[in-house]
Amino acid sequence: MNTARTLVNYTHVSQVTLTILIRYMNQFIGEVEASAIARELVLATESKLANNPKQFPVCPELEMLGITDYRQVTYKKYKVLFRLDESKQEAHVMALMRQKQSAQQLLIDYVIKAPT
């Protein structure tokens, strides 16, 4: 039985999207609660991905575009996009967002429109 845990890494874009998510939540619930929810989201994500990242499906929104290497973890009102590198046993968190937010739009904003 393989008990190796998957290493969870955060990309620059995931850090930016987490900051944006916290700022958005600040408007409605305040800084303290927004930060607490963000911490809970990060800890839950790390736990889920470290134990069995292959259990999570390909992101349906991106799959419709033919992009099949982004998986999605849903936690409460939030979704986390990640890519899995099975050869290195690493999960790369690509973005953290509200569940109703568009993964397609995020991809356009941060990948296609990103300055080179």
Domains of the chain: 7-112 (3.30.2310.20)
Mean pLDDT value across the chain: 91
Write down the residue that tokens 């296609």 correspond to. Answer: 112
Q: What is the pLDDT along the chain (116 residues), one digit of tens a residue?
A: 456 899 999 999 999 999 999 999 999 999 999 999 999 999 999 999 999 999 999 999 999 989 999 999 999 999 999 999 999 999 999 999 999 999 888 777 776 565 55
Indicate whether this model's pTM tops 0.95: no
CA 16 to each of CA 10, 63, 96: distance values in angstroms, whole numbers, following the listed order: 10, 23, 9
Scanning the chain, the segments in alpha helix (DSSP H) are 12-29, 31-51, 60-63, 103-107
**Distance of alpha carbon 25 from alpha carbon 112, whole angstroms:** 26
CA angle 116, 93, 77 (to 5 degrees): 115
Provide the CA 1 distance to its chain's centre, in angstroms.
Answer: 28
